[in-house]
Structure 1
Amino acid sequence: MTRSAEAYERYRAPEFRRLLAAARRSLERNGGEIKGSIGLANPTTAERTAVIGITGTYRSADVRRITIPLSALEESVRNVTGMSLHDVLERIGLKLRFRADERTALDQARQRILAEGEASPLHAEHAWYRQWLAGLASDGTITALINRKDIHLFSQAVRVLQYLYNRPSDAPPIMLPALADATTGDTKALNPGRGSLPTLVLRALAMARGISPESGAEARRDLWDAFDVIVDDLASRVLVLNLRATGQGLGQWLTDAACYGTPFHVTLHQLITLPITVNLPTVYVCENPAVLRRAAGELGASSPPLMCAEGRPSTAFHRLAQLIVDSGGTLRYHGDFDWPGIDMTNQLRARYQAVPWHMDAADYVKAVRDNTDQVQLSGKPQDTPWDPELAEVMKRESRAAYEEATTDTLLADWSRGG
């Protein structure tokens, strides 16, 4: 056959298919070098004839495996087409992928990403950030970002985390679209379903909180909420009882509800759009809504002002708590006698100088003795600076006592005026 631009088409024939596939694997494995041999197991008559034509060496019909030097195939292809074996393979198939080169490029890209992550001030300041970065490197996330050409998402995730941790402690909550715009230039970049970016950020924030990432809209909203990021200012709310306030709209509604001892849910949207002033010397804070419900049912309008963290304080809770403290009020807190409950107590003490109420060692011992449920303590032990003996007794007893089991004691105290 004379050389022509179409001469390579002969290599599309079935008798060359397995032979060229083996040649492709060899070239990709060896970085494009023509070296070594390739083979065919149980060749067909057509394949055996093709190899005889390439090598000029007869192979018997009963041969079980044919081996051919790759250099012989290269020479034959050049004689027929005037092209290299490399070029012919790419003409009739996909571009060759040199594995060693790809691994080197991948390793270099991984090192650049890790170096960028380590350059962030968060790397030196926070163990959770280092854990997050190491996890991305070890579980294939960084490799996946490189393969999808989404490296920019990692850079954006770091910017989001730095933005959240560099905000002043007294900064107002930020809406999620505003956060996305400030860090990526795209107001929708952190929305659910927008790819890897929100997943990367929420994974880091969960580590910063010491919790496992959870799926579902509510879990995502709660996690953003914990960092004063508002996903939905109508969904963020705080349950209160007898919390009189001044201010048009919301202030009037709260005062009216207090007249009847009616529980009231205050949304973050209301707190933002209908400013109030709360001039109360003391506001009690509970963790479980069942406590507030019983206070409303049994004490009604005579119950002292009460707000509920509902397990995990929302942005609305924090905004209202800050209003109370800024006006000179004191928060008196009672929660669960377990390590997460103690951690929340410490957080409220640090943020609002909240005073633990019925949260000392004697209260714990009574709650444990009165509680028939034998629930073992779990999680990381916490210090109790307001009563060091409490932490020691909890470690010794290793039992949890939940707030709803102590409600009788709380109500009795409130009925006597706190």
Structure 2
Amino acid sequence: MTTSAQPYERYRGPEYRRLLAAARRSLERNGGEIKGSIGLTNPTTAERNAIIGITGTYRPADVRRITIPLAALEESVRNVTRMPLRDVLERIGPKLRFRADEQSALDQARQKILAEGEASPLHSEHAWYRQWLASLASDGTITGLINKKTTSLLSQAIRVLEYLYDRPRDAPPVMLPALADATTGDTKALNPGRGSLPTLVLRALAMARGIPLGSGAEARRELWDAFDVIVDDLASRVLVLNLPATGQGLGQWLTDAARYGTPFHITLHQLVTLPIAVNLPTVYVCENPAVLRRAAGELGASSPPLICAEGRPSTAFHRLARLIVEAGGTLLYHGDFDWPGIEMTNQLRDRYQAKPWRMGVGDYLSGVRADSDHVQLSGKRQDTCWEPELAEAMARENRAVYEEAVTDTLLADWS
């Protein structure tokens, strides 16, 4: 036994598709009210005949646009289906979405979320927190969380920030999984690649420090470390030579390594779990490990204390550099004569008051004359505030001079 098709099924036909789509847009725009007119441009023969059937008014074959009152379509649909137009549209398509109602609901949800953010003690205590919350509201982040039904992520981010700022100043560093577990109940919630939560928190921490949020893994690890949160304390390390220190374990190992002029890799885990003190008036810093390797091979234990950035400084590098400077030591830095190398020099000057060493215009021009590689400069030009003539000479020569090419000069100074 078969059942007859429902009367509204006829409106699934292609001759009604564009007309009902226009009706849907009109109802959604007007909150479901039957008012105004809808129309079709360049109707097909089937569409024209369907409209003639609805209105009872003939339309010529060459008509370019047909307009009918929405009320006429409503009346015709009711006569055929015994159902209002809205119900028919929702039987053959998705539920109608009324824009005004959705906007009102969105506004209420935004106000609720912002009220929760403003209720945090951080809101009255820290300008960076207010700036962070305002930026989330203005750039669409909060709207995105509402639409994805993930507003709980903002609540979790606020709990993370409150946890970090409520910790005693002398509290030991916390591992990232432990922080995530304490604030969200999920040890992996703050891991990279776990959605929006880590980014929400790191955006706030970057604003708290007054720096842009870096995109690289090391930049993010360094930002966490600035708030005593350890991401990967074994992967982050720094290479040193002849850096005696005090402190059980690591301090003893460094002192023994310096006695023999042996390079030593320090992990962030060691710096955190085996605290040291470095009381040296001057520590040299190089960019390339090949320089430190030659110093170890040719000077050995007579080389001055040296730490290596190994390209981009790691979190371990920054923690060690901070230890040296806070104890009254001075960092003397040498790096590549290219724009990224100059940028790193500026960063270390700003952060640790490091002094450029063998980074003058004379050193650069000597390197240009001795270097046979002729590598052109690339990247954005940087200022050399310690010697403005250097940037001018680099732009004029348009040649990079890498640290390995001038190692003989550096070793001559050290010996």
TM-score range, shorter chain: 0.7 to 0.9
TM-aligned CA distance change 1:82 to 1:377, over 3 Å: closer
Alignment of structure 1 residues 39-188 onto 2, 5 Å: 41-42=43-44, 44=46, 48=49, 52=53, 54-55=54-55, 57=56, 68-79=68-79, 83-99=83-99, 102=102, 121-122=127-128, 133=135, 137=139, 144-151=144-151, 153=153, 174-178=174-178, 180=180, 187-188=187-188
Range with greater deviation from structure 2 (306-315 or 73-82): 73-82
TM-aligned CA distance change 1:167 to 1:335, over 3 Å: farther
Q: CA deviation at 1:59?
A: 5.7
TM-score by length of 2: 0.72
Secondary structure of the equivalent of 2:336?
coil
Q: In 2, distance between residues paired with 1:391 and 1:167? A: 44
Query: 1:36 matched to which residue of 2?
Result: 37
Query: Deviation per CA, 1:296-343, whole angstroms, max 9, x where unpaired?
Result: 222223322211112232221222233334555443322233454444
Secondary structure of the equivalent of 1:323?
helix
Q: In 2, distance between residues paired with 1:32 and 1:205? A: 46
Alignment of structure 1 residues 369-384 onto 2, 5 Å: 369-372=369-372, 373-376=374-377, 378-379=379-380, 381-384=382-385
Counterpart AA for 1:405? A
1:241 touches 1:258 (CA, 8 Å); kept in 2?
yes
TM-aligned CA distance change 1:144 to 1:37, over 3 Å: same
2:239 touches 2:265 (CA, 8 Å); kept in 1?
yes
Secondary structure of the equivalent of 1:278?
coil
1:39 touches 1:68 (CA, 8 Å); kept in 2?
no
2:237 touches 2:315 (CA, 8 Å); kept in 1?
yes
Counterpart AA for 2:376? V
Q: CA deviation at 1:205?
A: 7.7
Q: CA deviation at 1:123?
A: 8.3
Q: In 2, distance between residues paired with 1:49 and 1:330? A: 86
Q: In 2, distance between residues paired with 1:24 and 1:184? A: 43
Range with greater deviation from structure 2 (182-191 or 160-169): 160-169
Query: Deviation per CA, 1:359-416, whole angstroms, max 9, x where unpaired?
Result: 34433343344334353364353353xx4xx12332344244332222111111111x
2:214 touches 2:220 (CA, 8 Å); kept in 1?
no
Query: 1:216 matched to which residue of 2?
Result: none
Query: 1:238 matched to which residue of 2?
Result: 238
Counterpart AA for 1:392? E
TM-score by length of 1: 0.72
Query: 1:224 matched to which residue of 2?
Result: 221
TM-aligned CA distance change 1:25 to 1:179, over 3 Å: same
Query: 1:391 matched to which residue of 2?
Result: 388
Q: Does 1:255 align with 2:261?
A: no
Alignment of structure 1 residues 306-345 onto 2, 5 Å: 306-345=306-345
Query: 1:4 matched to which residue of 2?
Result: none
Secondary structure of the equivalent of 1:375?
coil
Query: 2:7 matched to which residue of 1?
Result: 10
Secondary structure of the equivalent of 2:238?
strand
How many residue pairs end up in the alignment?
A: 391
TM-aligned CA distance change 1:61 to 1:331, over 3 Å: closer
TM-aligned CA distance change 1:320 to 1:63, over 3 Å: closer
2:218 touches 2:315 (CA, 8 Å); kept in 1?
no
1:114 touches 1:133 (CA, 8 Å); kept in 2?
no
Q: CA deviation at 1:227?
A: 4.9
TM-aligned CA distance change 1:28 to 1:379, over 3 Å: same
Q: CA deviation at 1:8?
A: 11
Q: CA deviation at 1:271?
A: 1.7
Query: 1:356 matched to which residue of 2?
Result: 356
TM-aligned CA distance change 1:157 to 1:359, over 3 Å: farther
1:206 touches 1:223 (CA, 8 Å); kept in 2?
no
Q: In 1, distance between residues paired with 2:9 and 2:66? A: 20
Q: CA deviation at 1:238?
A: 0.6
Query: 2:190 matched to which residue of 1?
Result: 190
Q: Percent identity?
A: 66
1:202 touches 1:220 (CA, 8 Å); kept in 2?
no
Q: In 1, distance between residues paired with 2:404 and 2:172? A: 33
Counterpart AA for 2:37? G
Q: In 1, distance between residues paired with 2:192 and 2:217? A: 9
1:180 touches 1:186 (CA, 8 Å); kept in 2?
yes
Secondary structure of the equivalent of 2:198?
helix
Q: CA deviation at 1:272?
A: 1.9
2:288 touches 2:309 (CA, 8 Å); kept in 1?
yes
TM-aligned CA distance change 1:90 to 1:244, over 3 Å: same
Query: 1:3 matched to which residue of 2?
Result: none
1:37 touches 1:69 (CA, 8 Å); kept in 2?
yes
Structure 1: which 5+ residue stretches go unaligned? Answer: 1-6, 214-218
Counterpart AA for 1:255? T
Q: CA deviation at 1:60?
A: 9.2
Q: In 1, distance between residues paired with 2:321 and 2:294? A: 22
TM-aligned CA distance change 1:381 to 1:22, over 3 Å: closer
Q: In 2, distance between residues paired with 1:341 and 1:170? A: 35
Q: In 1, distance between residues paired with 2:169 and 2:382? A: 26
2:203 touches 2:213 (CA, 8 Å); kept in 1?
no
Q: CA deviation at 1:286?
A: 1.2
Query: Deviation per CA, 1:265-292, whole angstroms, max 9, x where unpaired?
Result: 1101112222334344432221221211
TM-aligned CA distance change 1:200 to 1:252, over 3 Å: same
